[in-house]
Amino acid sequence: MLRRALPARPEARRILAGTLFSAVGRGLTLPFLFIYLTDVRGLTDARAGLVIGWFGAVTLALSPLGGTLIDRYGARRVVLPCLVVEAVGTGSLALVDSTASAFGVMTLIAVGSSAIWAGQNTILASLTGADERQRVFGLNFALLNLGIGAGGLISGAVVDVARPVTFQAIYLLDAVSFLIPALILLTLPYVGRRPATGTSDAGAAPAGGGYLTVLRDRPFRRLVIFGLVLTTCGYAQIEVGFAAYSVRVVEVTPRVVAWALAANTVMIVLSQLLVLRRLEGRSRTGALAAVGGVFAAAWLVLGAAGLVGGGNALLAALGVVACSAIFGFGETMLSPVMPALTNALATDELRGRYNAMSSMIFGISGVVGPVTAGPLIGAADGRVWVAVVVGGCLVASLLALSLRPLLTPTQDGRPKPAPTPDPEPAPAA
C-alpha cells in the first residue's frame, strides 16, 4: 500500500521526505508554545494568548498575497524564502524575553508560514498526475502527523520549565528542520516554476484573472462554504472546545486529553493508507459527506462521555480518547480529498490562489471556532456546544452532497461510465 501511495516522480518523493523532516521539527515545539511563553518567559496568560492570536491573524491576512505571488512568480520563488524566514523566526523564539519581542518574532514566523502550505500543495500538484494526486496528498498528511507525533515524543522527554535551555534547544532544532525542505527544493532546479500556460485537470480552457475569477467558480465556492462549516464545527474545536469540554464537563485530567491527542495521531498514521485504498475510484463528494458524519459521531461520543462525567472515571476517559480517535479517522478521508478536489477545479494559472483560498478556510475557522466554543460550553453544561457542533457537521455533509451535481465525474473522482456499444444490425432475412 505504501508503494502504491508513493508518487511516480522521484522529485515528488523528495518533497514528501522534506515534509517528514520538517514535521519532526514542528512536533518538537507544537505543544509547548503557550507553556514556553508563560512558564519560561514570564508572559501572562492573556498576553501569551494575544501573541498566539496575532500570529493567526497575520497569517490569515497574508495568505491571499501568498497565492497571488505563487501564481505570478511560481511556487519555488515564494516557498524558498518563506522557509528561510520561518527558520529564522522559529530560531529567534529561543531569544524571546518580553511581550514586544514575542510579538515581533511571531510576526516574522507568520510572514514565513503564510504561503508555505499553499506553495507546497501547488508544487505537489505540479509533480503528480490527476490519477495519483489524491493518494499523494493523503500520504503527505500521514507523514506530517507521523513527524509531529515523533517530535512531540522526543520533546516531551526533554523539555523542563526549570531549564529554559531545553526549550531553546528544541526551537533551534525546529529552525534547522525548516531548512531541510529548502535544501531539497534547491536540488530540484526545475520544480515549482511558473507554468507557461494553464488548464484545469478537467481540460477546461485556460483562465486568467485573480481571486474574483476563483470566487466565480461555483463548484469551488460551494467547496469553500462546505470547508468553512466543517472546519468551524470540526478542526477548530479541537484546541479549545474539545479540551475545555473534556476537562470541565467530562471531568478528566489534562493527561487524558494528551492521551486522546496521541490516539488521534496513531489512528491517522495507521489507517491513512487503508483509507486511501478504499477511496480510489469513489466519489469525492461522497467521501466529504462521510467526513461530516464521522466528525458528528465523534462529538456525540464526547457528549455521551459528558453525561457519564465523574460517575465512572474510566468510562469517561475512554469516551474522550474514543472521540479523538474517531475524529482522526475522519481526518484520513478529508486530508486527501479536499486538496485533490481543490486542484482538480484549479487552473495552472490560478492554482496558487485556489490553494491559498483552501488554506484560508482553516485560518478563518481557527478564529471563529475558539471564540464561540467558550460561551457555548458554558451554556447548559456543554449540551448546547455538542448540539451546535454535531448539527454543523451534518449540515456540512448536506453541502458536500449538493456539490456533486456541479462536478464532472473526473473532478468527483468517479470513473467515467463505459460507452454503450451500438447494437449490431440484424441480418437480413
In a domain, 419, yes or no: no
* Whether residue 217 is found in the same domain as residue 75: no
12-33 pLDDT, tens digit each: 999 999 999 999 998 888 777 8
CB atoms within 10 A of CB 420: 6
In a domain, 323, yes or no: yes
User: Which of residues 150 and 87 earns the better pLDDT score?
Assistant: 87
Indicate if the alpha-carbon torsion angle 325, 22, 244, 291 is positive or negative. negative
Rounded to two decimals, what is the model's pTM? 0.83
Residue whose grid cell is 484573472: 209
Residue whose grid cell is 462536478: 407
* Whether residue 138 is found in the same domain as residue 237: no
* Whether residue 163 is found in the same domain as residue 289: no
* Whether residue 286 is found in the same domain as residue 346: yes
Q: Please report the pLDDT score of residue 322 as a whole number.
A: 95
Range of the domain at 105: 9-188
CA distance 125 to 352: 10
Whether the CB-CB separation of 121 and 343 falls below 8 Å is answered with yes
In a domain, 249, yes or no: yes
Nearest 10 degrees: CA dihedral of 205, 209, 212, 217? 10
Q: Please report the pLDDT score of residue 86 as a whole number.
A: 94
- Three-state SS for 160? strand
Q: What average pLDDT is seen over the chain?
A: 87
Q: How many domains would you assign to the chain?
A: 2
Q: Please report the pLDDT score of residue 52 as a whole number.
A: 80
Q: Give, in order, the Cα–Cα distances in Å from 117 to each of 70, 159, 266, 362, 380.
A: 11, 28, 23, 11, 39
132-168 pLDDT, tens digit each: 888 999 999 889 988 888 888 888 788 887 888 998 9
* Whether residue 300 is found in the same domain as residue 400: yes
* Whether residue 149 is found in the same domain as residue 280: no
What number of residues does the chain have?
429
In a domain, 352, yes or no: yes
Give the mean model confidence (pLDDT) for residues 391-405: 95
